Structure 1
Amino acid sequence: MTALDERTEVLTSRRLLDLVDTVIDTERLDLTASSLANATTDPEPRPAPLDVSRAWEAVDPASAPATLAAYRADWTRFTRWCVEHGRPALPAAPAVVAEYLTAVGRPAGSRACAPSTLVRWVSAINKVHLAHGMTPPGQSAPVRSILAEARQARDAGAPRSAPLALDDLRAMLAAIEPERAVWPTAVAARRDTALLLLGFAGALRRSELIELTLADVTIEPAVGLRIRGGGAGHRRDRPVRMLPFGQDPVTCAPCAWTAWRQILDAWDGADPAGGRRAVLVELHRRPGGERPGHVCRDAVLEPVGRDAPRAQRSLFPGVHRSGAIAGTAMTGEAVRKMVRRRAQGAGVTEPPGASLGAHSLRSGFITEALRRGADPRAVMAQTGHRDLAAVQAYAHRVAPPPADAVALLDL
């Protein structure tokens, strides 16, 4: 941990503790005033105490099983902490939830939990309260402030993502090229080439890259690749991307996709013990190092429709160093590490205060397109941005500096 990280963590922890103390003192004053006001009235009958250990059973089980399991574990962790510290878990006051997030989410001397983890913890607590007709404490200002503090602390210590220049992308592809025809490196080499080019030319977000399935990408003979919009849940804010045939086979996204699909189809089409042999046969039939031309123009690939058995097969699964192809998609962290590893292998250096990662492909496309004179609205059609200002922010980075007022005087 750097000195900056330590100062950020100390200051953030102090602000969170001060916030929790303020909320607790406020609730004590409110409680005292309420007790004095009701001292002369007849006490209302108290409801029967809730069995906290069985409180989760009231939550609607409509969510995915994995999501419910995670929420259930989060609720169990919270109730155990409440028992250990003598705090009520149901209903839980906002001050109790704030104290919990501070104590468990940002423990002194230990690494803080990710903001997404804290959000999930709060979501589990809210779900139980809503299921019992109670006000969710996670919607209170103190809890929202703590989550905002956690995000600010994360952003302060995280290096910004550097856009990947087109020349650097070409260098990375050239460095990968010798691996494309050699077992077992050819498997990861072809996958990485396809991921880099689809991510760059398609201006895809990291989440969109890892969510792509075989049914999401098709090739149209007169146009090129068509990447279906949506993604997980087929969100309407993700546009359809068109990736035209490239002039250079090395940087042609349809060629990269075709070469990778041939390997993936060979592996999936073989029996469990015959995947290696099937891939070797494909590599011998279509050696990647020769590059006679565009393989995307005459390749025959079986279409994968939305209802096909392999429709949900991940387009970019994990690949073991032995050449074995996994059945699940790469993680976002795996994509980030791959981009950095390929950049380092090509001698691409990261700018000071920034790092290369999955988002570098998307930001690199925007930067290069604007630098070459593309209209920002045309860029938005590819990226899916809704706010023109978000794209124009990239334009400011690539625009030449304004003429100096002194220079105009010809002194």
Structure 2
Amino acid sequence: MTEDGRPGYAVTTLESWMAAITHHYTAAGLDSPVRTRVVAETMTGIRKQRTKAGIGPTKAAPLLAHTLAAIVTAIDESAVGWKAQVAARRDTALLVIGFAAGLRRSELVALWVSDIARAGDPGDRFLLVRIRGSKKSPTEMEYVAMARGENPRTCPWCAVLRWLAVLAAFDRAVARATARAHPDPAAAGQHAVERVCARDTAPADVHVCERAWPSFQAVDVALLRPLDADGLPHLKALTRPAVVPDILKRRAAQAGFDAPVVETLKGHSARGGAATMALAAGVSINDVAKHLRHRDIRTTRGYDRSQPWAGNTAADHLGL
């Protein structure tokens, strides 16, 4: 318990630890101590105790579309110089793709360039995101379609194309410099990135959806990457899913959101926001569950912000 009398750990945290214990014991060919009657009864008791105390599960605040728009606008307006522009393109792509595709943090950081493709006739109506092994289907590939956005700042196509332009130029320059035994391939990559940023004068509030798809030396490379001290992308992917909420919080604070609001944003906020916005817009719960790849539709219902108890209820007809 904490000093204010609240539980020190959420039930979901305890369940995650139990799952990890079970995984390691099973991998070692041993029976998991978690799968015992005493543990099951203890967890049931914890849930009952918290329900009686009115302590429900804490959920990440959903990242709504207008909040996302405010954040990416601030990202663009603060991007002075090529280094800041590279970081702005990366962070905007990360936030917009995560929101539009409703991706989990682990799915987002695992994306390769080859996992994003144009699809749908006529006229390439969608960006198709391939997920290679998700929580729902760890041994299968799943696909999520992202349509073009009305707002250029939050359009998935624009965000992807602006970031791919940087990656493609950097990767090609480094590959050519390496093949020619250049003493500093990273410097060649930097010059290429600087040229891209200098030539791309299209403002962020203008669509760039019709641009040609950048050509890569190899497409089986990480899409979202860390940036080094010189502002250049690494060749490897972001490896920690925790980077996603770190970027979201930092960029929200930069956009001027108050600290209490920033602290409510977590790694699940973009995914939760996509579900919340879609349900509020009248999308069927089955379609939202399909988009988020939920195994249990009850999980999807948890994002429904409507108030089913308000309006025409049985209590309205009791003659009181």
With normalisation by structure 1, the TM-score equals 0.60
Quote the residue 1:337 is aligned against. 246
AA in 1 matched with 2:131: G
Q: Distance in 2 between matches of 1:334 and 1:114?
A: 22
Give the conservation status (yes or no) of the 8 Å contact 1:161–1:356: yes
Percent of paired sites with the same residue: 29
Q: Which of 250, 271, 274 is 1:362 aligned to? A: 271
Q: Distance in 2 between matches of 1:214 and 1:198?
A: 13
Q: Superposition RMSD on alpha carbons, in Å?
A: 3.9
Q: Which of 234, 251, 254 is 1:326 aligned to? A: 234
Q: How does 1:74-93 map to 2 (within 5 A)?
A: none
Give the conservation status (yes or no) of the 8 Å contact 2:18–2:34: no
Asked whether 1:141 is paired with 2:36, we answer: yes
Q: How does 1:245-256 map to 2 (within 5 A)?
A: 245-256=148-159
Q: Which deviates further from its counterpart, 378-387 or 196-205?
A: 378-387
Quote the residue 2:125 is aligned against. 223
Q: 1:400 to 1:116 in 2, by over 3 A?
A: closer
Q: Distance in 1 between matches of 2:110 and 2:76?
A: 26
Q: Which of 266, 280, 286 is 2:194 aligned to? A: 280
SS in 2 for 1:373: coil
TM-superposed deviation, 1:194: 0.7
- State the Cα deviation string for residues 350-398 of structure 1 (Å, max 9, x = none): 7789720221101101111111111112212211123222222322x23
Q: 1:165 to 1:256 in 2, by over 3 A?
A: same
Q: 1:380 to 1:239 in 2, by over 3 A?
A: farther
Q: How does 1:9-408 map to 2 (within 5 A)?
A: 123-124=23-24, 127-128=27-28, 130=29, 136=31, 138=33, 141=36, 159-180=58-79, 182-220=81-119, 221-231=123-133, 235=138, 239-270=142-173, 271-287=185-201, 290-291=203-204, 293-302=206-215, 309-311=218-220, 313-320=221-228, 322-330=230-238, 331-349=240-258, 355-395=264-304, 397-399=305-307, 402-403=310-311
TM-superposed deviation, 1:198: 0.7
TM-superposed deviation, 1:119: 5.6
AA in 2 matched with 1:250: R
Q: Distance in 2 between matches of 1:370 and 1:388?
A: 13
Give the conservation status (yes or no) of the 8 Å contact 2:76–2:85: no
SS in 2 for 1:259: helix
- State the Cα deviation string for residues 292-346 of structure 1 (Å, max 9, x = none): 73222122422x6xxx8441x2211112353121233221111111111111222
SS in 2 for 1:225: strand
Give the conservation status (yes or no) of the 8 Å contact 1:229–1:238: yes
- State the Cα deviation string for residues 245-304 of structure 1 (Å, max 9, x = none): 22221121011000000011122122333222111000011135x2473222122422x6
Write 1 or 2 for the structure with the bigger share of helix.
1
Larger Rg: 1
Q: Distance in 2 between matches of 1:5 and 1:238?
A: 45
- State the Cα deviation string for residues 116-167 of structure 1 (Å, max 9, x = none): 6776566555545x3xxxx545465279669969x98xxx898521101111
Q: Distance in 2 between matches of 1:244 and 1:225?
A: 6
Q: Distance in 2 between matches of 1:372 and 1:7?
A: 36
Q: Unaligned stretches of 5+ in structure 1?
A: 13-112
Q: 1:157 to 1:276 in 2, by over 3 A?
A: farther
Greater relative contact order (CA < 8 Å, ≥ 6 in sequence): 2
Give the number of aligned pairs: 293
AA in 1 matched with 2:207: H
Give the conservation status (yes or no) of the 8 Å contact 1:5–1:157: no
Give the conservation status (yes or no) of the 8 Å contact 1:172–1:342: yes
AA in 2 matched with 1:283: C
Q: Unaligned stretches of 5+ in structure 2?
A: 48-54, 174-184
Quote the residue 1:56 is aligned against. none
